[in-house]
Chains A and B, each alone.
Chain A
Amino acid sequence: MASEQHLSAIKGAKVLMVGAGGIGCELLKTLALSGFKDIHIIDMDTIEVSNLNRQFLFRQSHVGESKAKVARDAVLKFRPDISITPYHANVKDPEFNVDFFKQFNVILNGLDNLDARRHVNRLCLAAGVPLIESGTTGFLGQVTVHVKGRTECYECQTKPAPKTYPVCTISSTPSKFVHCIVWAKDLLFAKLFGDKNQQNDLNVRSSNVSSSSQQTEDVFERQIDEDIEQYGRRLYDHVFGYNIELALSNEETWRHRNRPRPIYVKDIIPTELIHENGDLDKDSIIGDSSVSAMATLGLKNPQDLWSLKENSKLFFEALKLFFLKREKEIGNLIFDKDDQLAVEFVTAAANIRASSFGIPLHSLFEAKGIAGNIVHAVATTNAIIAGLIVIEAIKVLQNNVKDYRMTYCLEHPSKKMLLMPVEPFEPNKSCYVCSETPLTLEINTHHSKLRDLVEKIVKAKLGMNLPLIMHGSVLLYEVGDDLEENEVANYAANLEKVLSELPSPITGGTILTVEDLQQELKCSINIKHREQFDEEKEPDGMILFGWTQALAVEKNYNGASTSQATSLNTEEDEELQFIPTQIGKKRKLSDNFITASSDNSCIPKETKIKRKADEVDCNNGNSDYGREKMEQ
């Protein structure tokens, strides 16, 4: 029965795949073998070494090339008679508009991030094209079917948001290793090597001590002709010693917490030893990305747990290498998990800080996973998920609505099942994406600016790419390439205005229309003025209703390799125990939706830092450091 009945549906179908990563490679292969003749594939990524263990269409020699194009060529070798159209591009690019989507019979997602998934969901709804969505992490995976009006859309249920941490936890009271990593990466690394104009909360401001900002700024700058060793020791003592002393002086903070221990370099590495550090000349002819402090220090295994002393040496060595080998980049660096030296520096700094706060140290391998939000990925799960996608795609093409299933791939069986099909849910009638239910926003209209609304609600929560905000017939905000200069200036000015002082004031009772022309998504927001917000519980200073953000499950980022192995198991056990118990209550099931798949990214690679513009004060800290989990 397999082929004959399916064959005609398959043969005439034109399908779009979004993503040519782990799921994408498997999917393209299975589609081609199954007889699909017209496949289009979008992926903005290029091939990396760490893809090769599962993205089997790629070889070492392809590193750096477009995934979509190489995948096409590889599949044409065994099915030369089919048509595969690759796009080395971001699915959010304007060329992929509703009309583009309309030409396909079904869209198949093999994405790795929430942002792009929401974008594709909206385009599918607008174009009226069925969407098959998928995700994997480790041995877990899922496939879901979304057909407008028949089943729920991808956004009918809220998805866990990226985990964010209060700035206070990061800058002064870390209690987990991940807090130290975020500090090392988003504060220290960014301060030393990143854009100097970026705001940075590195210096703790205690309410008792007001330090001259001029003075503290100087600590981070290497003086002209300053000996690199000298600079490193000064910096080390400041961030791991003096800053901790300063924080300790605020007794209130430590009443219910363990007091950290200031660490000074003289106690860890005697002066003469630093000079024995490393052997720079040994490999002085090296390109930028291959510079490694581990190599010059003779540290071989990234899975080893290094001592405080070793981490301190690594800190100095990495710092030195940045100045000696990569000085030109200083001031423009952004942390990248594939930048060996950056990973070494962040690992070392995080471990020294962890040591100070009595938090267990981690290996570079583990630290890299946490800092880079690396998702676990294996080939087998991707292959299974790709098979399930094709099975659903064939049903969708034949319009077998009653047979549509969402399928979960489990690590431990539930009711004897490793692959568990579940009937799809009906559309959620109050979904702001697929039904036009208005949202309600509680906000202080005399205090919040239009910028806050755009950043925190329209972009962060509603996931709009190119938003347009209207009050009645007055356009308050718009983005696009085709705007006049005076419009751009006007909108820029509006952004800085308090809501109630806009040309068309937003006050309690106002109904705003927010629209994304590319996604063809339009929603109404009823504004309710509210005077006070709880800084701890409502850090945004505004609350959106009709859109409830699920609490992010705090992930354990430990690798499976060392003494920490249990964390990974625990994390997965929790997820898996969750699924079976929820079968009865179908709705809940997709709380387990995997929003990060191991595979490929169609949005620009950047670490997300949600930051409030306000001055940061520890006792009044309200900016969050967000971490989006995606493979990069």
Chain B
Amino acid sequence: MDGEELTEHETALYDRQIRVWGADAQRRLSKSHILVSGLKGTVVEFCKNIVLAGVGSVTLNDDRLVTEELLSANFLIPLDENVYAGKTLAELCCDSLKDFNPMVRVSVEKGALSNFGVDFFDKFDVVVVSCCSLSTKKSVNEKCRKLSKRMAFYTVDCRDNCGEIFVDLQNYIYSKKKDDETFQCHLDYPSFVEAIAVPWKSLPRRVSKLYLAMRVMEKYEELEGRVPGETSAADLLNVQKLRKELCEAHSVSESQIPDSILQRLLEGRQEFPPVCAIIGGILGQEVIKAISGKGDPLKNFFFFDAMDGKGIIEDISEQKAQG
């Protein structure tokens, strides 16, 4: 592996994880730059995980002023108005994260995510977005794809006691060892736009109901001009109407998206900390895999629902659908 060796301090600090992923992976981690936008509980969990793991830098983007609700699943900031009043979420999280691992550079980038140009993203190896609208997800993903280098792009969203991760690693090549032989593996990821355009009819019949329900919610918030997650039980009728339209357009039965799930997604504004820990943990693991090139990355959606306890990978892509 190119690059300088780990210092004695790094070897001591990262001892237990080097035993998991090796020194090469640790060196790659220490040179990686990660942008994170939307700092609710799940993303805070994710930040903790990658700062502990020893990435090179983490850049935080979230200009929202801190409120008690935003802190409901946040362990980085004291639940004390005297401390948080007047400061942005990113600023406060930054101070705390720096403390976790002095070897990681943590900084704040102000501004609206959707306003950043293609060049801005060039500084990073990994982009994680959360709490943003459908159109922002799409546009940031497209900007990442315009860069000459390969970017790892993730969206993450937790509502009620379930959550979703989307992964776009573009053309991803990694090596895999089995029985003393090293294989080259190749995965071709669709963009977010391509993935959600896959006709529902062509998806496996037992595809996670959460996948479809999340698309309805996303679309609904987009049409209504809502901030993601700003919904309530009062929206149910309209959401049902949208579900009907979408299901008809895709020629699938409405029973694929039960009312019970929609209700949970509409009402569950408050984050459920155990789910934040689980989704933030899986996302952390995936980002570490993508940077280190070790281990099979998930392709391309992950769902966890505390109701049934399953953590499921769904491959939503055109080839897959046709094959």
Contact = CB atoms under 8 A, between A and B. Distances in A.
A2 B19 contact: no
A417 interface: yes
Interface stretch (A53-61, A483-491, A514-522, A540-548): A53-61
Contacts of A374: 15-16, 19
Given A50-B12, A139-B285, A412-B296, A379 B52 contact: yes
A549 to B, nearest CB: 27
Interface stretch (B105-113, B144-152, B184-192, B305-313): B305-313
B309 A378 contact: no
B63 interface: no
Contacts of B78: 77-78, 80
Interface in B292-323: 295-296, 298, 302, 304, 306, 308-314
Contacts of B252: none
B283 to A, nearest CB: 9
A80 B71 CA distance: 14
Interface in B160-195: 160-161, 177-180
A313 B161 CA distance: 59
A386 B277 contact: yes
B264 A417 contact: no
B105 to A, nearest CB: 17
A181 interface: no
B284 A379 contact: yes
B127 to A, nearest CB: 19
A383 B281 contact: yes
B309 A383 contact: no
Interface string A135-169: 00011000000000000000000000000000000
Given A54-B16, A365-B11, A374-B19, A570 B179 contact: yes
A514 to B, nearest CB: 38
A369 B273 contact: no
Interface stretch (B20-28, B129-137, B220-228): B20-28
Contact of B281 (A34, A384, A573): A384
Nearest to B161: A2
Interface string A280-302: 00000000000000000000111
B77 to A, nearest CB: 7
A420 interface: yes
Nearest to B44: A33
Contact of B311 (A386, A419, A570): A419
B20 A53 contact: no
Contact of B267 (A1, A59, A413): A1
Contacts of A416: 312-314
A3 B268 CA distance: 9
Given A30-B274, A49-B12, A379-B48, A417 B312 contact: yes
Nearest to B79: A78
A1 B161 contact: yes
B229 interface: no
A340 to B, nearest CB: 10
Contacts of B76: 78
B61 interface: no
B282 interface: yes
Of A412, A560, A598, chain B has the most CB atoms within 10 Å of the CB of A560
B304 A419 contact: yes
A34 B74 CA distance: 11
Given A391-B274, A391-B306, A559 B75 contact: no
A30 B161 CA distance: 14
Contact of A383 (B18, B45, B302): B45
Contacts of B304: 419
A199 interface: no
Contacts of A277: none
A411 interface: yes
A33 B313 contact: no
B5 interface: yes
B74 A30 contact: no
B200 interface: no
B257 interface: no
Interface string B23-62: 1110000000000000001000100110011100000000
Interface stretch (A126-134, A234-242, A561-569): A561-569
A458 interface: no
A407 B16 contact: no
A387 interface: yes
Interface in A601-625: none
B19 to A, nearest CB: 4
Nearest to B263: A1
B154 interface: no
Given A391-B274, A418-B311, 6 more contacts: A377-B19, A380-B281, A386-B274, A387-B277, A421-B308, A570-B178
6 contacts: A33-B74, A369-B19, A377-B16, A387-B277, A387-B281, A566-B179
Interface of B: 5, 11-25, 41, 45, 48-49, 52-54, 72-80, 99-102, 160-161, 177-180, 264, 267-268, 270, 272-278, 280-282, 284-285, 288, 295-296, 298, 302, 304, 306, 308-314
8 tightest A-B contacts by CB? A419-B311, A421-B309, A387-B277, A384-B281, A33-B273, A2-B272, A387-B278, A383-B281
